[in-house]
Amino acid sequence: MFIGNGAWGASGTTIYYDNFRLIDTGAVPTAGPGAKITAVQFDARSGQISLSWDSVAGKTYAIDFTDSLGSWPQSLANNIAGVQGTTTFTGSVPNTALGFLRIRTLN
């Protein structure tokens, strides 16, 4: 919900918003047409994650990690060869209280 307090005059418009957060994810393409994560398994003790998604044969994917949206400073895996149907990545994630993953198409 936005609440705008502004001066609607002939010289222009100024609108003020309070408690608003805009998250820019970098406008990267999804993993493919209709990409959908189909399974996630996480073991907190070992930090291992298994991530499966709908994929396309011949595409190459990357998995990125961040603990705060707005930048993606860490790549967990690059050059994951996609297969027709479902591709799965298994690996470690950093030990943080909060984290986000994204799947990118490299080609």
Q: Tell me the pLDDT of the chain (107 aa) as tens digits.
A: 444 444 545 555 555 555 555 566 655 544 444 457 899 998 888 889 999 999 989 999 999 999 888 888 899 999 999 999 999 999 998 888 788 888 888 88
Look at residue 88 in the predicted model and tell me its pLDDT: 95
Residue 5 lies in a domain: no
Look at residue 60 in the predicted model and tell me its pLDDT: 92
Report yes or no: 50 and 4 within 8 Å, Cβ to Cβ: no
User: How many domains are there within the chain?
Assistant: 1
Report yes or no: 64 and 72 within 8 Å, Cβ to Cβ: yes
Model pTM score = 0.65
Look at residue 90 in the predicted model and tell me its pLDDT: 95
Instruction: Give the domain range for residue 90.
Output: 24-105
The CATH number for 69's domain is 2.60.40
Look at residue 31 in the predicted model and tell me its pLDDT: 45
Residue 18 lies in a domain: no
